[in-house]
Structure 1
Amino acid sequence: MTDRLPPIPVFTRRRAGVLLHPTALPGCHGKLGLHARQFVNFLVEAGMTVWQALPTGPTHPDLSPYQSLSAHAGNPALIDLCDLIEPGLVAEASLKEPRHQLLASVAERFLGGRYTATPQMNPEVWQQFVSDHASWLDDFALFMAIREQVGGSNWTDWPEPLRKRDPAALAEFVRHHSDTVERVRVEQFLFHVQWRALRQYARDRGVLFFGDIPIFVAHDSADVWANPELFKLDQNGQPTVVAGVPPDYFSPEGQHWGNPLYDWSAMAAEGYRWWIARLNSQRELFDLLRIDHFRGLQAFWEIPSEAPSAANGYWVSGPADDFLSACFESLPDLPLVAENLGIIGEDVEQLRHRFRLPGMTVMQFGFDGSPTNPHLLHNHQADDLVYTGTHDNDTTLGWYRSLDKPTRDHVNRYLRVSGADQAKHPWPVIQAAMGSVSRLVIVPMQDLLGLGSEARFNTPGTTENNWSWKLPDNYQQLESTERMRDVVQLYGR
């Protein structure tokens, strides 16, 4: 299971891709089977060669992929149960059963050998997977099993022997709950089998996968529970300082994210082992990886945990060159993109350029009236990526409709749109992005379908109605793939 697909550099040619998180695909029995393959076919018909997803880890109840229960694991909610019918792990009639109950039955059948083995899924491959991923899989399976038994509470609220990972207490727990622990491990195996099959299906059709890595991890995660010495925590496991960003034009009070901060000295002392393993895990899944909040590697905003506001924080130097050098020394072909959006200092850009990492521009961010705005088409760089919008923005149509008249007129003038053509938005923005000198353009699926604010995926700073938008079942009929392919080919992508 550790044998990766041969690396294919993304930036060797001009490409176009689509941003769509797999959770937004149609289907009620999982996403990594038929519906994902159909989406790959859709991309091929549209001339797209990159599929970008958000982080694919298991989520908390708020569904945010940026606050995962693990930096390594896959989200078992994505496992397609229908694809488990043919090998005999699922009976079609049982699909109406609760998913959790059905996955428990799948694990029991799999571990008992009551299925039809395939080259991708058999006892030998299973044992190899468990062995190859033991460095994170064992802790994650134990973490999830305990969490399930205590009603889903944060690990800092667990009984002290389990919270502090007392070996005798953990061994005793496994003796009583081995079925749950094994179920979690089987779920991860099935996720990886299906993801690898989907990635091969996509690659056979010329489509590459683009992933996303949040710089910080959730406090309530297997990673922090299993490695408390690598984070700034007190003796009870609570963060002493947390992550966020300072007040700025977009957020007068700043943002208080609450993620625990790394003890970078401890990380450095062990050669950044934890981070390199994390990057390696994601390298198994994707051809290209974005580091979210890249600026935090140069300097990060540290907020005392007892502080009432993000404004009480302060800047602390990050590991910068030392960290990236260690990563590339261990993983020479690591294909990273730096998320450099927002207010970014020259020191951050210099760090990015020293390691030749592509950055990002977003068409929606270009129209503040300044001709030197880096997001404007004429200021783009060939080695960077251009987006019409991101998962944190309104859809491009929703954004355009929300603009005041002077800004809307400025957008139309810049894009040379007038008269009846104004009703064709967001396509003038999409076409402009396709014409950029940037080698890779990414368009959110909502923009390709011309959807408005009702299709927004996330609104930062809010906790309701996020991460839940679903692609309409008839999405393939909502917009012509021929139209998409024409504009892709027009600009040599």
Structure 2
Amino acid sequence: MRRSGMLLPVASLPSKYGIGTFSKEAYDFIDMLHDAGQSLWQILPLGPTGYGDSPYQSFSTFAGNPYFIDLDELVKEGILSQEECNSYDWGNNEEYINYEKIYSSRFKILYKAYKRNDIGNNKKFNAFCHKNRWWLDDYALYMSIKNFYDGKSWIEWDKDIRERNEDSLLIYENKLREEVEFYKYLQYLFYQQWHKLKAYANKKGISIIGDIPIYVSLDSADTWANPELFQLNKECLPKAVAGCPPDSFCETGQLWGNPLYDWEYHKFTDYKWWIQRIESSFDLYDIVRIDHFRGFDEYYSIPYGDKTAINGTWEKGPGMELFKYVKDALGEVDIIAEDLGFLTDSVKKLLDDTGYPGMKILQFAFDSREDSDYLPHNYNRNCVVYTGTHDNNTIYGWYKEINKEDKRMSINYMNNKYTRDNAIHWDFICLAMRSVADTCIIPVQDYLGLGKEARINVPSTLGKNWTWRMSKKGFSKKMVKKIKMLTKLYGRM
């Protein structure tokens, strides 16, 4: 089945509170996708973000980001007033996310909502807490203790609570009882509002593609509550951490710093935690993209404490065995494998054995020095084609920066020597749309023809990522009509 959609993180939606939320603007975006003939909305991970504001470094693999809770919904319910919401400084640039301002304001206003609710006597809230207690109790306690320790990661806490001494757990649970309930309340709101939004999308014929990172953060409830899942020493410090080896893009490699899995332990438990993780992902999304799929075949292990990824080594992952357990437990599930980068024969075999579609990025296709698997004539149908992803420049920004030979190759490939540079993004969009790939996803910035100022992330950098937001003007009726025409023309309606 041929289908198409757009890539836009929830955080990048317009809103009046400094960051995209599950607000009217999210519903408007779904309406636009429907009007444009699209059937997919791809987002980034929805977890609460930690250091560097990256959705790939979350405090929990199961929790949702409180930043996405729609404050206007709480105003409608009479819990907050519009004046209270407007009294905080959310930033004055509608195309930029100021995380410092949001962090300083968001929890304060949500705490007011919590104090006015008597939520502990709410039957729906208590049912939610009971259903999700297997992860929610640890997460809420983790965040509360983390605040008690002024935001420090659990590896810097006192030994008794770092190692989850039972008496110490009870002491902190009693001492921080109100704050623990507050964090559970935030998750209740998040899941309530997200499921409402997702149901609206599904009713409009839009499926949600979610994204789960292969790894979890060291500074997370997952690692603190389940240290046996990871390669940690007796002091609960990582023996080694995740990353990528040096390549043409980065001569020292990428040092992600995530703890690595103890795959022998996971195998001993019949991969129970991974099955729970994927099952819970399908409660949030219709389709799941698994980031860094190569890591299931072989993972790159970097000694803990190293400043670069140079000294890492490749180690064997669980391979097909994990996905056999997933299939036995969950049946056939709709997964996309992020298989970008250098792929060994064993990774290719793992992809073939799972049957999951891989990814094709047009920006990787036009290297005039050699043929490329990313050129559309080399695709098979079982793949997802993108002009670029959240880790790439926009297609217009990329085109302006590539050398003359690669630019000439792309023009010759598309047989189009007459397009003005400021409209070149449409040529690449059409190239992706008319490819044989069953699924085509175009980042919103590429439809809008934006330059590198709209890039979402530059891998291995800190400070300026994850901050772009779409303008409220967004898509004109004329553009929506054009997208729908192209979608129909290329058989993706």
Q: Same fold (TM over 0.5)?
A: yes
Paired residue total: 473
Q: What runs of 5+ residues in structure 1 fail to find an aligned partner?
A: 1-12, 114-121
Give the 3 Å change call, closer, same or farther, for CA 464–112 of structure 1 in structure 2.
closer
- 3-state DSSP of counterpart to 1:67: coil
Give the structure 2 partner of residue 220 of structure 1.
Answer: 219
Q: Name the aligned partner's letter for residue 110 of structure 1.
A: N
Deviation string 1:389-408 (CA, Å, 9 cap, x unpaired) is 01000000000010111111
**1:24 aligned residue (6, 12, 32):** 12
Give the structure 2 partner of residue 246 of structure 1.
Answer: 245
For residues 66 and 111 of structure 1, the distance between their equivalents in structure 2, rounded to whole angstroms, comes to: 34
For residues 167 and 333 of structure 2, the distance between their equivalents in structure 1, rounded to whole angstroms, comes to: 39
**Deviation at residue 124 of structure 1 after TM alignment:** 3.2
Q: Map of 1:367-382 to 2, 5 A cutoff? A: 367-369=366-368, 372-382=371-381
Give the structure 2 partner of residue 118 of structure 1.
Answer: none
Give the structure 2 partner of residue 100 of structure 1.
Answer: 107
Contact 2:6 2:442 in 1 (8 A): yes
Deviation string 1:257-299 (CA, Å, 9 cap, x unpaired) is 1111011111111111111111112111101001111010001
For residues 457 and 27 of structure 1, the distance between their equivalents in structure 2, rounded to whole angstroms, comes to: 17
Deviation string 1:343-401 (CA, Å, 9 cap, x unpaired) is 01111111111111110001111111367411111111111000000100000000001
Q: Map of 1:186-201 to 2, 5 A cutoff? A: 186-201=185-200
> Are 1:109 and 2:108 matched, yes or no?
no
Give the structure 2 partner of residue 446 of structure 1.
Answer: 445
For residues 306 and 179 of structure 2, the distance between their equivalents in structure 1, rounded to whole angstroms, comes to: 39
- 3-state DSSP of counterpart to 1:62: helix
Q: Name the aligned partner's letter for residue 72 of structure 2.
A: C
**Percent pairwise identity:** 39
Deviation string 1:62-112 (CA, Å, 9 cap, x unpaired) is 110001111000000000010112222222222125321221122233335
Give the structure 1 partner of residue 398 of structure 2.
Answer: 399
Q: Name the aligned partner's letter for residue 359 of structure 1.
A: G
Give the structure 1 partner of residue 279 of structure 2.
Answer: 280
For residues 403 and 202 of structure 1, the distance between their equivalents in structure 2, rounded to whole angstroms, comes to: 37
Contact 1:456 1:469 in 2 (8 A): yes
For residues 189 and 418 of structure 2, the distance between their equivalents in structure 1, rounded to whole angstroms, comes to: 53
For residues 337 and 361 of structure 1, the distance between their equivalents in structure 2, rounded to whole angstroms, comes to: 11
For residues 112 and 362 of structure 1, the distance between their equivalents in structure 2, rounded to whole angstroms, comes to: 47
Give the 3 Å change call, closer, same or farther, for CA 308–84 of structure 1 in structure 2.
closer
Q: Map of 1:422-433 to 2, 5 A cutoff? A: 422-433=421-432
Contact 2:388 2:443 in 1 (8 A): yes
Deviation string 1:31-81 (CA, Å, 9 cap, x unpaired) is 102111011111112111100001110001411000111100000000001
Give the structure 2 partner of residue 15 of structure 1.
Answer: 3
Between 1:226-235 and 1:368-377, the stretch displaced more is 368-377
> Are 1:52 and 2:42 matched, yes or no?
yes
Contact 2:15 2:23 in 1 (8 A): no
For residues 148 and 6 of structure 2, the distance between their equivalents in structure 1, rounded to whole angstroms, comes to: 39
> Are 1:362 and 2:372 matched, yes or no?
no
Contact 1:433 1:441 in 2 (8 A): yes
- 3-state DSSP of counterpart to 2:251: coil
Between 1:248-257 and 1:424-433, the stretch displaced more is 248-257
Q: What runs of 5+ residues in structure 2 fail to find an aligned partner?
A: 89-104
> Are 1:75 and 2:65 matched, yes or no?
yes
Between 1:26-35 and 1:232-241, the stretch displaced more is 26-35
Q: Map of 1:169-184 to 2, 5 A cutoff? A: 169-184=168-183
